[in-house]
Every structure is written in C-alpha cells, then in structure tokens.
Structure 1
C-alpha cells in the first residue's frame, strides 16, 4: 500500500510592523514659459502658420485681431480680399517657422522667427515679427512685420 503524501505546510509572511506610507509623486513646477503665456503664444503662431500652409482661410484670418494694423493702411476687408487671392490662388504653400522666440508679458506678446515660405515656384526665407494680444482666451495678431 502506498504511503500517503505528507501535507505541505506553507508559512504566512510576517505582518509588517508599521503600515506602508504612501508617498505622493513629486510634481515638478511648471516651466516658466507656461507661467508667462509664451507656450500659448507659440501654439497660436504655429496654428496660424499651419492654417496658411493648408490654405484654411477661415482659421488663417481668425488668427488676426479685429484691430490688426493692415499694411499700407488698407481697410480690413480689402486686406482680407488680397490675402484670399494670394493664398487660395497658389497650388501649394509651405510655411515653416525656424528659430521661433516668444516673449509674453501680461496680455501682450512678441514672436520672432525666420519664416521659410514656399509657394509654387517662389521660395523666400525672411525674418518676421508678430505682435499679439490676448483677447479672451486666444492670442491674436495685431501687427506683422518682415525683415530686420
């Protein structure tokens, strides 16, 4: 007759002497660019360039404040019509922002960058400065200048 198997005894782990203390995760302070609005301005400027590249006129024109200083003292409607003709008429547009630097203080900001613009057979690399103002929760362009 076979011998019966001996029962296996499993010892329980000893109970901890102190309860475990949960350590909250360390949250780093937000970067300074968020505190002064620079990140929001950068996102607004990049959205403007993307809308231009995609020839999305509604988004492109919406990036400009109602008090935008149009070049040559054109009326806003004449400026918008000119922009539509110059943008929609291109078969392709590419607007890349290089070396983007943003400074923001309060509800005003300045974005400086090199703009690599390509459209059809035209290619222009130029310096550009956008002055923006915060209107509600959006950063909008109030002045645009090239060169310098």
Structure 2
C-alpha cells in the first residue's frame, strides 16, 4: 500500500500536496518520474535532493513513499516513524505507518498508528476509514478462527459473511467478489492540518458508462457530450485494464511525456496498465473547453488506485478529432 489511502492496490501516481516554493517543481518532477514507472530512478533523485536539503519534510516523506513502492518496506517504516517522532502533529506519516503495518499483518500497530493520526487531526477522514477497515480485518480473522474451532457456529459464519459483503467491490457477474482488505492512500504531507480533497464521486453520462466513482457533468452541446464520452471511455478502459482499447484512445500524433518513441511509450503503458491485479480510475470536476470543431481541452481531478497505491492528480487532456473520434493528443498532470 503506498502512501496511501486504500490498503488494496498497486503502484504509481503520486501527488504532491506542497506549498508553492522553489523546491516544489523539483519534487513534482521526481514524483512525475515515479508516476511514469521509474520509481528506482525517482528514489535516486530524491536521495540526491535530500543530500543538499536533509531537513525538507516533504522530500523525506516522498522518500518514504518511494521506498515503499520499491519494496523497501522496513526502510519506509523507519522513515515514517522518524517523521512521527520529529513532527508529531502531522497525521499523514501515522497513516502511512498504519498501511505498512497492515500489509505485514501487524494490526495492533496499525491501529495504534491510526489512533495517533486521529488524535493529531480528528477530521482526518482517511485515518477514520482505515481504522474501520483495520477493525473489520481483525474481526474477519477472529470470526474465521471461530469457524475453524467450531464449523457449526452459524453466528460467526453469518458475521463473517456480512464483513465480506461490506468490503466486496461492485463487480460484474463474470468477476469474483473482492475479499476483505484495508485501505491506504499515498499522500505527501503539506501542512500539519491540511486535509486531502474529497474522493471523486462521478456518474457517467447515459450514453457512455464512466468508471465507478465518476460523476458526469451536464452536457452543454453535442460536442461536449462526445468529448465527455471519449474521456470516460479512456478512463473505463484503463480501469478495466483493456490495454488495446486504452491505447486506442490516443491519437496517432500523441505527444509522449518525455519525447520517447510511440513504441517505447506504448510498451511502458501496456506493462503499467496490465500488470496490477486491479486498477480503479475515477474522474471529478470535468471542465471542457472546445477550441474549434477538431480541438478541445478537458481538465479534471483524477483519482487512481492500484495495489497499495491511491492518489489524486489534477490533469489536462488535449484532444483532437480524427476520423470522427475524439482522441488524446497530449496528457499533462498537475495542470
């Protein structure tokens, strides 16, 4: 689980909740590098950054995130523990500790960390939700143990079933019910009491299903609706991990993020989209700007969850209309 909100996904897509400063752009660049699947390189850069600025809290926090994402969980735990000791009023390090402890099955430690997060920041909704998930996980284990000792215990069986139903993700008939899991969210500390933005709640336009958790904005024209449908199709393909459909959402003249070849970019995205066991992408606050009949821009907040990672990012899509279809010509984050 990454620095994180839902204890249940995979990697990459960090957001920096940083105040404007001379260092903000550099930290965003490092986070962007991680978002592109280059966590190891991002970790090297953050280490170099911290060599010059060893007391930068945001950079230290980001290093903890990157350590977790590169499998160095014990080192990440040490980082977040030190942050809680030196900056006890910051709730995010406690939350991330809880996520890491929960991954190791150390639920008592996870619960203590979340209690501390809530004590420092009573309105920290993520910590409250994660604490509920911890208790549910502990209850699930206890009911399971009761059933092992007494297979005829119908009350324990019923309670265990209720917990599983509670945490089961909405699925199609062809998909299995999700098992009980805890939630985590990758977050970059900004200020001791800086709350995270609310999770996107978005519903699709009737003509095109949008990813779960996505709320459609009212269409003002047929062009707006067609653009909206194209964006929802892209997000849905990403969430469903339909790689070919996802890649087909990009125009032939798509400007790759780092100027790499289209072939290299597609290979990276194919791996990033297909590799996680599950991905959830939801969109919020869509703003459509139609420049002319063949060009448009869409701004929105994107929520991404995969494996142990959960993050929100502001995004801008530059769209072009080719052969009657709206396709992505450029994809920009933090815009």
- TM-score bin, normalised by smaller chain: 0.7 to 0.9
Q: 1:32 offset after TM fit, Å?
A: 3.9
**SS at 2:253 equivalent:** coil
Q: 1:75 offset after TM fit, Å?
A: 0.3
Cα RMSD, aligned residues only? 1.0
Distance 2:289 2:225 in 1: 9
Q: Which structure features the higher share of helix residues?
A: 2
Matching residue of 1:4: none
Matching residue of 1:120: 307
1:56 aligns to 2:239 (yes or no) = no
Matching residue of 2:323: 136
Would you say how many aligned residue pairs link Structure 1 and Structure 2?
116
Matching residue of 1:33: 221
What is the TM-score with the length of structure 1 in the denominator? 0.76
Matching residue of 2:284: 98
Matching residue of 1:11: none
Matching residue of 2:332: 145
Distance 1:48 1:62 in 2: 9
Q: 1:58 offset after TM fit, Å?
A: 0.9
Q: Which structure features the higher share of strand residues?
A: 1
Distance 1:124 1:32 in 2: 30
Distance 1:71 1:79 in 2: 8
Bigger Rg, which one: 1
**SS at 1:71 equivalent:** coil
**SS at 1:41 equivalent:** helix
Distance 2:284 2:303 in 1: 7
* Structure 1: unaligned runs, 5 residues or longer: 1-30
**SS at 1:102 equivalent:** strand
What is the TM-score with the length of structure 2 in the denominator? 0.34
Matching residue of 1:72: 258
**SS at 2:258 equivalent:** helix
Q: 1:83 offset after TM fit, Å?
A: 0.3
**SS at 1:72 equivalent:** coil
**SS at 1:92 equivalent:** coil
Q: 1:102 offset after TM fit, Å?
A: 1.1
Q: 1:44 offset after TM fit, Å?
A: 0.1
